[in-house]
Structure 1
Amino acid sequence: MLLDIMQVTEGGGFVIIQDSVDCCGRQLLKSFINAALKREEIIHVLGFEVCEDELRAGLDSRGIQRLYFHDGFTDPLGWTECPALTVHQFTPQEISARLGHSEQPKSVMLVIDSLSWILRHHPPAVVCQRLQELRRGGALKSILALLHSDMHQQGIVGSVCHLATVVISVSPGTGAKHAVAKTTRRTKSGRVTREEEYFTVSEDLTVTIEAQTIHSGKAQAEPEEFEADPAANLTFNLRLSEVEREAKEKLSLPFVFSQEKKSALLHHRPGAGRILYEPDANDDFDQEDPDDDLNV
């Protein structure tokens, strides 16, 4: 799955490479950039963690002219008079202005190296909102971001990863050269596919899949909320069969009168008996004192 995602990037895709101090994901990030250059895509990099020379090292020289590096590494906080890019300029308007000179906006990939720098200086809700605006703006084909998961709380990491169409979590493998990529991919229909693969990245940024783990390749839908059945494990049956339901519907309840029964009760019939009651002296009822006969 990792190679499929790297070779074919859908329009509107948002890929997050999630790493930690135990396993760096920048080489895999550069492999994605290299594959996009070979597809003749235009790439804009918001670089906050490494300089331009370090990022360009090893990339395909034939397509390197299509890579635009926006230097946020030299002065990320804007301490000088004319900073090239600061972390506070991470807004849809600013980024769209920087992408404005691209001849083919539909084939532009935005690379954020790294998203952790932005999350350290912006509230998570603001970052998520701006990422959504960038995806919906139509000026980008895809977004690729590097995220250091051990620098943030798990709730923040989960909120940002929830926006992504693909999340690749890298961790150390069994060997010194191997690493494990746990890939979660969400399609537009809501289907979720998860896979774990052992991979290596060579000096020319070529990714090689060594093997798949035992539990890889299983596709599943998003888990639905489980609701307990109150009628389960009872000693009696609360549900009706079809025959019992039909018999229940035909049954006339004692407090439900039919039209014929209502007519018989409301209309006087000849020869019907009547009850006549004549009160005596002991039945004298005083409206002012209804309890008079109790001798209280």
Structure 2
Amino acid sequence: MAAKESSLLEALRGGSELTDSVIIQDCVEVSGRPLLKSLVHRYSQQSPVHLFLLESGRQDWEHCSTGKQLFYHDYYTDPLGWDHDDDITTTTTTGASHTSKRCLHGLTVQSCVGDVEGVRSVEDVRSVDDVRGVVVFDCLSMLLLTQSASSVSRLLHGLGHHCLLVLSLVHADLHEDHVISQLSHVTSTVVSMQTPPPLTDYLCSVYHRRKSGKISKQVESFTISADYSTLSSSLHRPHTHSTLSTTHTTPSQAADPTANLTFDLTLTAKEKHDRANVVLPYTRPHITAHTHPHITSDTRPHISLGKGEIFYQPDEADDFDESDPDDDLDI
């Protein structure tokens, strides 16, 4: 019996499958925020998570905090910098604060690294394993409103050299295909949310590119607990044969291909009668005194009624030999 194929989503969340960047693509029909919160909940148990708020406030993420520290970098309060406030406030789940409030057009690799370094100086993070941490963007779509796709791609790629993992969310239906393709190109793992079938909570396709160059693709269905602490996923296999009805249909119950058409393919009784009485062009009609009263028995042509005739007139170039009609003898 073949071994059961493991879930890529659970392996990435649990850490058994390594990646340096993950981007979740969702749309208005299916939100990817529950999956993002579940990943943040899991990663915050292992390393410091620096959550850059671009689309939502801190109150939407407080339930994702665990025993480890979760750091909030507020780019949501004044995204365009209209308040002209240089004070930047970052708050942690332990109550410590660090100034970190900027506008979106100033969000760069250097500013992100500066925010992370500022939190480290306040929190005095000394663990070697936790120095780099995880950087999370709650929505790149807000950033794409003020920066080009190339700038955002450089941001994601540059942060990969300064942190353990870059985790982000983007609303794919708000941007053109080339923008989404550019972001996916600089990301190792792409999770695309899909419309789930009945009796399924969530459905996604996972594209994972390992450092060795091997590419894995899976379509998975998953469920998430209310507190985002548990994620259970499995490979999604569309039901084809099992969903078909096992009842046998009689010929009378078979579908009529001529039904529900804008034109009629069947003939009425009168149309069938008229078709049967059509005289074909290579036959001559039966001549009678009733149909042709002007034709007498003396003037009636001597022909085979109701039968076709073939008339052939040889050409001058024809050399017809009755002793060799097939012209296959060389005498």
Cα–Cα, structure 1 residues 95 and 106, in superposed 2: closer, same or farther, change >3 Å?
same
Contact map agreement 2:12 2:18 (CA 8 A) in 1: no
Residues 86-118 of structure 1: CA deviation (Å, up to 9, x unaligned)? 111211111111011322554400001111111
Q: Which residue of 1 aligns with 2:40?
A: 33
* Matching residue of 1:260: none
Evaluate the alpha carbon distance shift between residue 199 and residue 69 of structure 1 in structure 2; reply closer, same or farther with a 3 A threshold. Answer: same
List alignment gaps of at least 5 residues for structure 2: 1-7, 87-100, 240-331
Deviation per CA, 1:58-109: give whole Å up to 9, x if none: x24423xx11101112111111131622111211111111011322554400
**1:11-48 CA distance string (max 9 Å, x none):** 76010011000101111001000001222x10111101
Q: Using the TM superposition, give the Cα deviation of residue 10 of structure 1 relative to its aligned residue in structure 2, in angstroms.
A: 6.7
Q: Give TM-score, length-normalised by structure 1.
A: 0.66
Residues 221-278 of structure 1: CA distance to partner in whole angstroms, max 9, x if unpaired? xxxxxxxxxxxxxxxxxxxxxxxxxxxxxxxxxxxxxxxxxxxxxxxxxxxxxxxxxx
Q: How does 1:190-269 map to 2 (within 5 A)?
A: 190-205=213-228, 206-209=230-233, 211-213=235-237
The 1-side partners of 2:234 and 2:16 are apart by 22
- Quick one: structure 1 residues 2 and 207, their matched pair in 2 at CA, closer, same or farther if it must change by over 3 Å? same
What pairs with 1:1-296 in structure 2 (closer than 5 Å)? 1-8=8-15, 13-39=20-46, 41-57=47-63, 59-63=64-68, 66-82=69-85, 84-100=101-117, 101-102=119-120, 103=125, 104=127, 106-136=131-161, 139-175=162-198, 178-205=201-228, 206-209=230-233, 211-213=235-237
Q: Offset at 1:202?
A: 1.5
The one-letter code sitting in structure 2 at the alignment partner of 1:212 is H
CA distance in 2, matches of 1:19, 1:90: 23
More helix by share: 1
Give distance in 2, aligned partners of 1:11 and 1:212.
22
- What amino acid sits opposite 2:51 in the alignment? V
With normalisation by structure 2, the TM-score equals 0.59
Query: What is the letter of the counterpart of residue 214 of structure 2?
Result: R
Q: Is the 8 A contact 1:16 1:147 kept in 2?
A: yes
Aligned with 2:143: secondary structure?
Answer: helix
One-letter identity of the residue aligned with 1:74: T
The CA distance in 2 between the partners of 1:144 and 1:81, in whole Å, is 29
Please list every run of at least 4 consecutive aligned residues from structure 1 whose deviation after the TM superposition is greater than 6 angstroms.
9-12
Structure with the higher fraction of residues in strand conformation: 1
Aligned letter for 1:203? Answer: A
Which secondary structure does the structure 2 equivalent of 1:161 belong to?
helix
Task: Work out which of the two has the higher radius of gyration on C-alpha atoms and give 1 or 2.
Answer: 2
Determine if contact 1:11/1:142 at 8 Å carries over to the other structure: no
- List runs of 5+ in structure 1 lacking aligned partners: 216-296
**What is the RMSD computed on CA atoms of the aligned residues?**
2.0
The residue aligned with 2:266 is: none
What is the rounded CA distance, in whole Å, between the counterparts of 1:163 and 1:113 in structure 2? 18
Identity over aligned pairs, percent:
26
Residue identity in the other structure for 2:34? Q
SS in 1 for 2:11: helix
Helix, strand or coil at the partner of 1:79: coil
Q: CA deviation at 1:165?
A: 0.7
